């Protein structure tokens, strides 16, 4: 239990909830009493649903509000229509999360650990190619990637025009992210159209339409 307590403290600190570690420890203890064979590799996953929602609300709502397509939408609405769809995903160190040049099919929020971002040259080396950025970036807690997918979901219903990732993302260490898939974003926009501004192009009025408008205006 000592190792688990240490993991809970670390998790709480990384979540920015240091004062919650004691309460989470008590919850985990109760879970152990119910199931002594419980294997705890992912503390978050064994927490009760209401506790997980509180943590997700703390971690993710501020970042959702920064996504340009979602700005102006009430916080309670974002809570209702997004949080349940953001799924926790764990990557061990050295794993590819998203690859440059491939369809961007999820938007991710980093909650623990760090992720390297970079471009790959045509020879397969990081950076260095002609016209390519050789900058290696780093994403950590509170960073997000793929917010253009939200814009895509409000203007398209076809996966044939998914945005393409401009970078490769690779876990530098064990990483926890909360991800939402392109198909889920399409479903959310379809079900809650009134909250989203679509970028539908309106046709320019023809000459006959303008004449008709002028005639009505002069009557």
Q: Which residue ranges make up each domain of the chain? A: 1-47, 61-199
Other C-beta atoms within 10 Å of 96: how many?
Answer: 11
Q: Using one digit for the tens of pLDDT, what is the confidence trace for 5-19?
A: 888 888 899 998 888
Q: What is the pLDDT of residues 60-113, one digit of tens each?
A: 999 999 999 999 899 999 999 999 999 999 999 999 999 999 999 999 999 999
Q: Say if residues 147 and 67 touch (Cβ distance below 8 Å).
A: yes
Average pLDDT over residues 183-189: 95
Sign (positive or negative) of CA dihedral 185, 56, 97, 169: positive
Among the ranges given (28-37, 50-59, 196-205, 210-219), the one the predictor scored with the smallest mean pLDDT: 210-219
> What's the rounded mean pLDDT across residues 172-194?
95
Residues 151, 94 contacting (CB under 8 angstroms): no
Judged against a pLDDT cut of 60, whether residue 2 lies above it is answered with: yes
* Residue given tokens 């950076």 in the structure block: 127
The pLDDT of residue 212 is 42
Residue whose C-alpha is closest to residue 76's, from 98, 89, 57, 63: 57
Asked whether the beta carbons of 188 and 77 are under 8 A apart, the reply is no
| Digit-coded pLDDT (tens) for 23-58 | 888 888 787 777 655 556 788 888 889 999 999 999
The CATH number for 61-199, chosen from 2.60.120.10, 2.140.10.10, 2.40.30.10, 2.120.10.80, is 2.60.120.10
Over residues 125-182, the pLDDT tens digits come to: 555 554 445 689 999 999 999 999 999 999 988 899 999 999 999 999 999 999 999 9
**CA distance linking residue 207 with residue 45, whole number of Å:** 62
Cα Rg, the chain, nearest whole Å: 23
User: Does residue 122 surpass a pLDDT of 60?
Assistant: no
DSSP lists the bridge partners of residue 181 as 106
End-to-end CA gap in the chain:
84
CA distance 61 to 78: 7
Mean pLDDT, the chain, rounded, equals 83
pTM: 0.80
């Amino acid at each position: 239990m000592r190792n688990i307590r240490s993991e809970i403290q670390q998790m709480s600190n990384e979540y920015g909830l240091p004062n919650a570690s004691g309460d989470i420890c008590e919850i985990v203890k109760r879970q152990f009493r119910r199931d002594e064979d419980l294997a705890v590799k992912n503390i978050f996953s064994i927490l009760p649903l209401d506790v997980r929602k509180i943590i997700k609300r703390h971690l993710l709502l501020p970042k959702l509000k920064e996504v340009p397509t979602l700005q102006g939408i009430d916080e309670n609405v974002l809570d209702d229509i997004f949080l349940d769809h953001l799924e926790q995903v764990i990557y061990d160190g050295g794993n590819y999360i998203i690859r440059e040049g491939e369809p961007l099919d999820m938007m991710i929020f980093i909650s623990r650990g760090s992720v390297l971002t970079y471009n790959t040259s045509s020879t397969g080396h990081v950076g260095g190619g002609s016209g390519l950025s050789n900058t290696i970036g780093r994403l950590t807690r509170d960073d997000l990637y793929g917010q253009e997918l939200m814009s895509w979901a409000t203007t398209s219903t076809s996966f044939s025009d998914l945005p393409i990732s401009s970078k490769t993302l690779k876990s530098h260490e064990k990483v926890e992210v909360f991800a939402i898939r392109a198909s889920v974003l399409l479903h959310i926009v379809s079900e809650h159209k009134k909250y989203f501004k679509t970028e539908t192009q309106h046709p320019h009025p023809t000459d006959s339409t303008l004449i008709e408008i002028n005639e009505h205006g002069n009557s």
